[in-house]
Amino acid sequence: MSRVFNFSAGPAMLPEAVIKKASEEMLDWRGEGMSVMEMSHRGKAFMSIASKAEADLRTLMAIPDNYKVLFLQGGASQQFGAIPLNLLGNKKTADYVNTGMWSKKAIAEAKRYCDVNVVASSEDTGFTTIPDFSDWTLNPDAAYVHYTPNETIGGVEFDYIPDTGDVPLIADISSTILSRPLDVSKFGMIYAGAQKNVGPAGLTLVIIREDLIGYAADITPAMLNYKIHADADSMYNTPPTYSWYIAGMVFEWLLDNGGLEAMGKINKAKSDKLYAAIDDSGFYANPVQKRYRSWMNVPFTLKDAAMDADFLAQAAKKGLATLKGHRSVGGMRASIYNAMPEAGVNTLVEFMDEFAKANG
Ligand SMILES: *Cc1c(COP(=O)(O)O)cnc(C)c1O
């Protein structure tokens, strides 16, 4: 058996050290005589796992005390509906920024509950840039402003945090969470599905300022109500215990490896190297305006799409897996989250160079 460099956009690679430790603890977690999977979520053992994971996440992200951290299910997609249900309050409108496929999905779901004001869009560029903040048409009466800091499919990423004044800023950070430091205090709420950069699928993180909790519409299902989950410390019902446990080990791994400051430096270096290989090749191309290129998801096309299948087949032989691009963009996409080692990017860049020389 040998492990490949897995460039999947999600579920994605996890740190090998974490998977090894999980396998060692699989049958018997620290003398409990059972796997974490088999434990009651209300028992002492799991409660210790859960609270340590939250404490480590708070340390890693420097989450201020007036924010709740919720460990939920349903993916980021479920939050697309939960956000308007919980945060509209007495208001009828919300502001949304449209920078790609995930923005659009959030907008479509919000439209079921409120008037959506699209304050800025990069759709006319084919989502290859980020709208200048000076051009946004914000509504001071909006319940909140929602945006997607990193568009996982287009590979386009904000290099700034918008200042929306008193209107709470909400961000879908599914594919950029933990990739570098983030000033949580600038946001009303941030959320992420775990399967990109946190842990296994099935867990969704919601980090929300306490004063925004408690205004859910009457029709909000209990399972989508932030107050119910916050009051129950995310144990209103059975939480995704095993995913929570693995996420906790990922947080520990990050703390042991220098935290988000160190991660940010590595991620910047990895993406710089890959973009340089694309730009210098005359064979590969990435359409995104340089300033807004994603550090996490790097789409690229070959000189001739007819070579795509051959590229993928040869890459697979080198242990470079899951490079096929999203069907809406075509070409390739290399997702290089925290757990992708620098050696994986180096191997990819070497292979790309060889392939271009042989086929250019
Ligand atoms: C993957 C992704 C989603 C969807 O996540 P699910 O957990 O599958 O619902 C939403 N937003 C962004 C930015 C993503 O990358």
**285 in the same domain as 227:** no
pLDDT bracket for residue 261 (50, 70, 90): very high
What is d(CA 30, CA 245) in angstroms, rounded to the nearest whole number?
13
| pLDDT at residue 328, as a whole number | 86
- Tell how far the Cα of 155 is from the centroid of ligand 1, in angstroms: 13
**Is a pLDDT exceeding 90 seen at residue 70?**
yes
What Cα–Cα distance (Å) separates residue 200 from each residue in 247, 333, 342?
Answer: 7, 21, 22
| Model confidence at 1: pLDDT above 90 | no
Instruction: Single out the catalytic residue among 95, 196, 244, 270.
Output: 196
- Measured in Å, residue 211 CA sits from the centre of ligand 1 at 26
Atom 8 in ligand 1: residue holding the nearest Cα: 75
Which atom of ligand 1 is nearest to 76's Cα? Answer: 9
Average confidence (pLDDT) over 313-336: 96
Q: Look at residue 108 in the predicted model and tell me its pLDDT.
A: 98
Q: Region 202-223: what's the mean pLDDT?
A: 98
What is the pTM (predicted TM-score) of this model?
Answer: 0.98
Domain final residue pick, 256, 277, 311 = 256
The string of pLDDT tens digits covering residues 122-158 is 999 999 999 999 999 999 999 999 999 999 999 999 9
Cis peptide preceding 64, ω within 30 of 0: no
CA 73 to ligand 1 center in whole angstroms: 12
Question: By alpha-carbon position, which residue is closest to atom 5 of ligand 1?
Answer: 76
Q: 165: closest CA among 193, 190, 145, 184? A: 145
Residue of 172, 244, 253, 295 marked catalytic: 172
Ligand 1 in contact with 240 (CB < 6 A)?
A: no
Residue 277 pLDDT > 80 = yes
CATH of the domain at 274: 3.90.1150.10
Is the CB of 143 inside a 6 Å radius of any atom of ligand 1? no
Confidence band, pLDDT 50/70/90 cuts, at residue 44: very high
Asked if 102 is an active-site residue, the reply is: yes
**Catalytic residue (choose from 29, 102, 244, 295):** 102
Q: Tell me the CATH number at 69.
A: 3.40.640.10
Mean model confidence pLDDT for the chain: 97
Q: Which of 256, 275, 305 is the endpoint of a domain? A: 256
Indicate whether 298 and 215 sit together in one domain: no
Task: Name the percent of the chain lying above pLDDT 90.
Answer: 98
Contacts of 237 (CB under 8 A, 6+ apart): 223
How far does residue 81's CA lie from ligand 1's centre (Å)? 13
Confidence of residue 329 (pLDDT cuts 50, 70, 90): confident
Cβ of 8 closer than 6 Å to ligand 1, yes or no, is: no
Q: What's the total number of domains in the chain? A: 2
CB 316 within 8 A of CB 241: no
Mean pLDDT of 38-47: 98
User: Do 303 and 242 have their domain in common?
Assistant: no
How many angstroms does the Cα of residue 225 sit away from the middle of ligand 1?
20
CB 15 less than 6 A from any atom of ligand 1: no
Domain coverage including residue 242: 17-256
Task: Give yes or no: residues 214 and 272 share one domain.
Answer: no
- DSSP states of 147-180: E-SEETTTTEE-SS----TTSPEEEE-TTTTTSS
User: Percent of the chain, pLDDT > 70?
Assistant: 100
Write the burial class of residue 256 (CB in 10 Å: 0-12 exposed, 13-18 middle, 19+ buried): exposed
